[in-house]
């Protein structure tokens, strides 16, 4: 069995285990390469038809190319797609790129998801995060409980030893499941290539720039790159010393830092 | 050589409490120690940048952690630091938790600081001492870098929040205990702060509002008199840029 087969097997096992434990479950699809890989794994896990909904949290600030991609492939893959929008916050004038990043992430992503979870009574969510993506994610578990306020208490989470996942949840929590936690950015691209998966055109270089990570348009910057094929992207990542999310200038980590500086009175 | 930064450390706390700070006391009684009276404004981001780049604020233009509403990153600071330069010349240099940006910067190592690099709660403030110390001792147990720089940043927050209170003296004591094994591990050790501290209302410059956005009252603020304690360090620092110049000249003379 080669490396990608091993990764795929483990992920499919986790997805099936999750569905077995939580019937009220959904998969988050951000339209990026990782969550599209996750959708593919879910499709494989259930022989082509995913038996639970896919949620896209729409901040109304994604790239046009992302919306086109979402609508085209949701239809082709026959996904039960739920588009989660915090209409109330939008009505109040909250906009990505206009409010400070913590508030807009909180309102348009976290609260949109909270509303969606409450409406559909989901008890578990499958997400496409990877451990190599960001320092804070090194502490994540494959089955990761969240409390009612969506808080992740990383100092008090169940151990997962020898791949014995703690998939049973307390009633008060919802559980996040991370089937791609053990994948790397290069694994994802090699899998995309092998499976001939569609990925957004924004990932491929045009006029010397490409997006390495996709988020909301006002907060996502392209990197200098001539990688216009998957092979070139893989080669570029192998030689890169810059973090994958470097282009996500206002990502959550920066927002946390900003919030803490504000608490101390820095601005 | 070890360079240990104590963000905001001041003689006004160390001297009257020296009996409770035996490790600093031992160094002070045996080696050189003096005051660095800053001529540049005592803003942490700017002073740490000057200390390790050898550039004045007018030259490096990096004045604060946030500019135009955006948190500054390493890429926003357009200077070369001492670790960049010495590393290129083949020396083994490591830098841990350097607070010219937040989260603080690391060179040639990985470090996950408490509180996203801005520790606020007492648990986070205490954890920083433990984590920085553990990381330094871990590095020193495996190798002996030509230059290892580490900064205890949370003393600054502690001094803002608890100036004039016994809790601050307790915190100095914790740092003193933590650095004991570190300062004994090398023949050349420089301990320094980026600025001093004083009572909020007496501070010649207010770097933060007295009442923060969350309603906390700050008790202390920055003072332009910083500290230096030098164990066998062959240069003296009168202004922040002297640290960079001293390190640069020392290592370029091949005296490792």
Write the CATH number for B174: 3.40.720.10
Is pLDDT above 80 for B201? Answer: yes
What does the pLDDT read at residue B256? 43
Provide the residue-wise pLDDT of chain A in tens; the chain has 267 residues. 799 999 999 999 999 999 998 889 999 999 999 999 999 999 999 999 999 999 999 999 999 999 999 999 999 999 999 999 999 999 988 888 765 555 677 788 888 998 999 999 999 999 998 887 755 555 567 877 766 555 555 555 555 554 455 554 444 458 889 999 999 999 999 999 999 999 999 999 999 999 998 988 887 888 889 999 999 999 999 887 666 665 554 456 777 787 777 777 665
Query: Which residue in chain A has the smallest CA separation from B76?
Result: A249
Closest-CA distance of chain A to residue B184, Å: 32
What does the pLDDT read at residue A247? 58
Contacts of residue B116 in chain A, CB cutoff 8 Å?
253, 256-257, 260
Closest-CA distance of chain A to residue B212, Å: 4
Question: HSE of A83 in the Cβ direction (CA atoms, 13 Å)?
Answer: 10
Q: In this complex, do B65 and A266 lie within 8 Å of one another by their Cβ atoms?
A: yes
Cα dihedral sign, B216-B100-A139-A39 = positive
Residue with the two structure tokens 């332009």? B224
Task: Supply φ then ψ for residue B254, to 5 degrees.
Answer: 75, 15
Contact B9, B155 (CB under 8 A): yes
User: What's the structural domain count of chain B?
Assistant: 1
Contact B149, B191 (CB under 8 A): no
Domains of chain A, with CATH numbers? 3-177 (3.40.50.620)
Q: In this complex, do A136 and B112 lie within 8 Å of one another by their Cβ atoms?
A: yes
Within 116-145 of A, beta carbons closer than 8 Å to B belong to 135-136, 138
Q: What is the dihedral of CA B53, B57, B61, B66, to 10 degrees?
A: 100
Closest-CA distance of chain A to residue B203, Å: 17
What does the pLDDT read at residue A218? 81
| Among A235, A257, A243, residue whose Cα is nearest residue A102 | A257
Residue with the two structure tokens 């790397």? A184
Closest-CA distance of chain A to residue B192, Å: 24
For residues B132 and B152, give the distance between their C-alpha atoms in angstroms, rounded to a whole number. Answer: 7
Query: Which residue in chain B has the smallest CA separation from A137?
Result: B112
A80 touches chain B (CB under 8 A): no
What does the pLDDT read at residue A163? 46
Q: In this complex, do B116 and A262 lie within 8 Å of one another by their Cβ atoms?
A: no
Put the strands of the sheet holding B147-152 in their side by side order.
B32-37, B225-231, B189-192, B2-6, B147-152, B93-98, B105-107
Two structure tokens written together for B138? 């871990």
Which among A138, A250, A263 is the nearest to B214, CB-wise?
Answer: A263
Contact B5, B194 (CB under 8 A): yes
Q: What is the dihedral of CA A230, A233, A235, A238, to 10 degrees?
A: -130
Contact A27, A125 (CB under 8 A): yes
Give chain B's count of helices (H) and strands (E).
9, 11
Contacts of residue A264 in chain B, CB cutoff 8 Å?
118, 120, 157, 160, 208, 212
Residue B15 lies in domain: 2-252
Cα dihedral sign, B245-B74-A259-A180 = negative
What does the pLDDT read at residue A249? 47
For residues B33 and B225, give the distance between their C-alpha atoms in angstroms, rounded to a whole number. Answer: 13
- Strand, helix or coil at B244? helix
Which among A100, A260, A266 is the nearest to B116, CB-wise?
Answer: A260
What does the pLDDT read at residue A14? 93
- Residue scoring higher pLDDT (B55 or B112): B55
- Residue scoring higher pLDDT (B31 or A218): B31
State the burial class of residue A118 (Cβ atoms within 10 Å of its Cβ: 0-12, 13-18, 19+).
Answer: exposed
Contacts of residue B213 in chain A, CB cutoff 8 Å?
262-263, 265
Task: Supply φ then ψ for residue B222, to 5 degrees.
Answer: -70, 145
In sequence order, what E strands does chain B have? Answer: 2-6, 32-37, 66-67, 70-71, 93-98, 105-107, 147-152, 189-192, 196-199, 220-223, 225-231
Q: Which residues contact A159 (CB under 8 A, 6 or more apart)?
A: A166
Within 28-67 of B, beta carbons closer than 8 Å to A belong to 64-66
Closest-CA distance of chain A to residue B105, Å: 14
Q: In this complex, do B218 and A265 lie within 8 Å of one another by their Cβ atoms?
A: yes
Cα–Cα separations (whole angstroms), residue A156 to A25, A152, B7: 23, 9, 31
Q: In this complex, do A253 and B116 lie within 8 Å of one another by their Cβ atoms?
A: yes
What does the pLDDT read at residue A103? 66
Contacts of residue A100 in chain B, CB cutoff 8 Å?
69
What does the pLDDT read at residue B254? 55
pLDDT digits (tens, 9 = 90+) for B161-172: 999 999 999 999
| Among B66, B30, B47, residue whose Cα is nearest residue B183 | B30
| Among B127, B216, B139, residue whose Cα is nearest residue B182 | B139
Q: In this complex, do B69 and A100 lie within 8 Å of one another by their Cβ atoms?
A: yes
Q: In this complex, do A135 and B120 lie within 8 Å of one another by their Cβ atoms?
A: no
A245 touches chain B (CB under 8 A): no
- Residue scoring higher pLDDT (B129 or B206): B129
Q: In this complex, do A136 and B212 lie within 8 Å of one another by their Cβ atoms?
A: no
| Among A102, A256, A185, residue whose Cα is nearest residue B103 | A256
B74 touches chain A (CB under 8 A): no
Q: Which residues contact A49 (CB under 8 A, 6 or more apart)?
A: A43, A78
Cα–Cα separations (whole angstroms), residue B110 to B96, B155, B247: 8, 21, 23
What does the pLDDT read at residue B131? 95
B121 touches chain A (CB under 8 A): no
B interface mutation test: which of A154, A256, A264 has the most B CBs within 10 A? A264
Closest-CA distance of chain B to residue A65, Å: 27
- Strand, helix or coil at B81? coil
Q: In this complex, do A257 and B102 lie within 8 Å of one another by their Cβ atoms?
A: yes
């Amino acid at each position: 069995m080669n490396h990608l087969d091993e990764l795929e097997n483990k992920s499919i096992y986790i997805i099936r285990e999750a569905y077995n434990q939580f019937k009220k479950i959904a998969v988050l699809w951000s339209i990026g390469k990782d969550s599209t890989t996750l959708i593919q794994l879910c499709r494989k896990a259930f022989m082509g038809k995913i038996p639970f909904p896919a949620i896209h949290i729409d901040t109304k600030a994604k790239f046009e190319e992302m919306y086109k991609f979402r609508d085209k492939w949701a239809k082709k893959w026959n996904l039960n797609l739920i588009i989660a929008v915090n209409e109330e916050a939008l009505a109040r004038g909250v906009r990505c790129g206009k409010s400070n990043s913590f508030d807009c992430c909180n309102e348009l992503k976290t609260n949109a998801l909270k509303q969606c979870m409450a409406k559909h009574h989901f008890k578990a969510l499958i997400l496409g995060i990877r451990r190599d993506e960001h320092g804070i994610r090194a502490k994540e578990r494959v089955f990761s409980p969240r409390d009612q306020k969506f808080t992740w208490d990383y100092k008090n989470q169940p151990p997962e030893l020898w791949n014995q996942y703690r998939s049973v949840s307390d009633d008060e929590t919802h559980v996040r499941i991370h089937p791609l936690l053990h994948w790397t950015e290069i694994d994802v691209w090699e899998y995309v290539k092998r499976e001939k998966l569609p990925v957004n055109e924004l990932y491929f270089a045009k006029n010397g720039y490409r997006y390495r990570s996709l988020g909301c348009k006002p907060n996502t910057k392209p990197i200098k790159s001539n990688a216009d094929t998957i092979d070139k992207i893989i080669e570029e990542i192998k030689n890169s010393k810059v973090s994958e999310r470097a282009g996500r200038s206002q990502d959550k980590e920066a927002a946390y830092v900003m919030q803490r500086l504000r608490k101390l009175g820095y601005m | 050589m070890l360079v240990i930064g104590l963000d905001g450390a001041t003689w006004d706390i160390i001297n009257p409490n020296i009996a409770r700070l035996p490790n600093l006391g031992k160094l002070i009684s045996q080696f050189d120690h003096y005051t660095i009276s800053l001529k540049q404004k005592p803003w942490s981001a700017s002073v740490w940048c000057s200390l390790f780049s050898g550039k004045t604020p007018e030259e490096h233009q990096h004045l604060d952690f946030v500019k135009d509403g955006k948190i500054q990153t390493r890429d926003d600071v357009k200077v070369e630091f001492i670790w960049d330069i010495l590393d290129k010349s083949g020396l083994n240099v490591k830098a841990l938790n350097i607070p010219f940006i937040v989260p603080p910067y690391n060179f040639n190592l990985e470090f996950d600081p408490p509180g996203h690099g801005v520790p606020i709660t007492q648990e986070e403030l205490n954890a920083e001492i433990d984590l920085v110390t553990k990381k330094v001792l871990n590095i020193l147990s495996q190798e002996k870098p030509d230059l290892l720089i580490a900064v205890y940043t949370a003393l600054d927050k502690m001094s803002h929040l608890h100036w004039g209170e016994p809790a601050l003296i307790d915190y100095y004591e914790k740092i003193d205990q933590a650095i004991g094994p570190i300062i004994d591990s090398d023949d050349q050790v420089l301990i320094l702060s980026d600025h001093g501290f004083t009572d909020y209302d007496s501070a010649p410059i207010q770097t933060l509002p007295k009442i923060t956005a969350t309603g906390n009252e700050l008790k202390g603020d920055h003072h332009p008199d910083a500290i230096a304690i030098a164990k066998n360090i062959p240069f003296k620092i009168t202004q922040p840029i002297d640290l960079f110049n001293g390190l640069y000249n020392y290592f370029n003379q091949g005296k490792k």
